[in-house]
Amino acid sequence: MSIAVSGVSKLYGQQKALDDVSFQIDKGNIVGFLGPNGAGKSTMMKIISCYIPQTEGTVKVCGYDVMDQSMEVRSRLGYLPENNPLYPEMYVREYLEFMGGIHKIPSIKSRVDEMIEQVGLTLERKKKIGALSKGYKQRVGLAQAMLHDPEVLILDEPTTGLDPNQIVEIRNLIKSIGAEKTVMLSTHIMQEVEAICDRVIIINKGGIVADDESKNLTSNNHAQVIRVEFDHQIEVNKINSIQYVNEVKRVDDNTWLIGSDSEKDIRPFIFEFAVANNLNVLTVQKEEQRLEDVFKKLTSS
């Protein structure tokens, strides 16, 4: 078990930022921590990374307690904080060597070379951090987090503020890193989770509202919705009578959205219905329910 969070609550003064949060993350997984602004994502990640203490509950990283064994935890964990605070006056190499010194990494120069190559900073390595684009600054942050070759990486909104090309590059980089490490990354963007994560933990108002494989959240949780276009008009009552249909919505004259909570694929029933009613089916299409819809449903309270 790489990360084990059990019954964690966090109070900032009177305000409860986390309320009895529990989850576990296995070694080698890439897990998305998804939630709207203010949900408690950064608070949870700071606690896991030994930056702030929890008010209640326990957190273990690779079996070590974040409160009692923080040195053990820090040596096994890399953390990219939200907004990636860097020193703009420092040169890329200088900064990474400085950070490596904090971790007391042996043969730091060659390790920094390795990291610069891995995160694709070779052409920028002699520049000042302040002169880099946001995407490259983020690479410096990732290199920093991985310098001491930690087993676990905690990345707080690693793609926020990047342009679309940079987002794709950083996502690919995280995916390749995730092949070897346990990665927990926070985001408020659903597509991000769909693009990189095996599993998603959804948090809202300090509490976990869903925890599952990304693919399960988008398939199990939903009623299937079929968009069908007939060649002429038909009354809504008739469509309602199709077997397993729970909800019908008219899109335009001849086009319908037909919803069902059944496990069975209802498309054959729609075809049978069409034949029985002398209708031709012009198009039939299964509407994909996206993580975004699931998220809206789970957090709209």
**Tokens standing for 118?**
């891995």
* Rounded (10°) CA dihedral 271, 276, 282, 284: -20
| Minimum distance, C-beta of residue 80 to Mg ion, in the bound complex (Å) | 12
Binder among 29, 42, 166, 224 for ligand ADP (CB under 6 A): 42
- Give yes or no for residue 15 binding ligand ADP (CB under 6 A): yes
- Give yes or no for residue 42 binding Mg ion (CB under 5 A): yes
| Minimum distance, C-beta of residue 23 to ligand ADP, in the bound complex (Å) | 15
- Give yes or no for residue 300 binding ligand ADP (CB under 6 A): no
- Give yes or no for residue 41 binding ligand ADP (CB under 6 A): yes
44 and 32 Cβ atoms separated by less than 8 Å: no
- Give yes or no for residue 29 binding Mg ion (CB under 5 A): no
- Closest among 163, 161, 287 to 227, alpha carbons compared: 287
Choice between 15 and 278, CB closer to ligand ADP: 15
Binder among 1, 11, 12, 219 for ligand ADP (CB under 6 A): 12
77 and 61 Cβ atoms separated by less than 8 Å: yes
Q: Give Cβ neighbours of residue 240 (< 8 Å, ≥ 6 apart).
A: 248
Q: For residue 156, what are the β-bridge partners?
A: 186
- Give yes or no for residue 138 binding Mg ion (CB under 5 A): no
- Give yes or no for residue 49 binding Mg ion (CB under 5 A): no
Distances (CA, A) of 228 to 52, 258, 263: 53, 8, 19
- Give yes or no for residue 39 binding ligand ADP (CB under 6 A): yes
- Give yes or no for residue 32 binding ligand ADP (CB under 6 A): no
Candidate ranges 30-38, 89-97, 173-181, 246-254; the one touching ligand ADP (CB under 6 A): 30-38
187 and 162 Cβ atoms separated by less than 8 Å: no
**Which parts of this chain interact with ligand ADP (CB under 6 A)?**
12, 15, 17, 35, 37-43
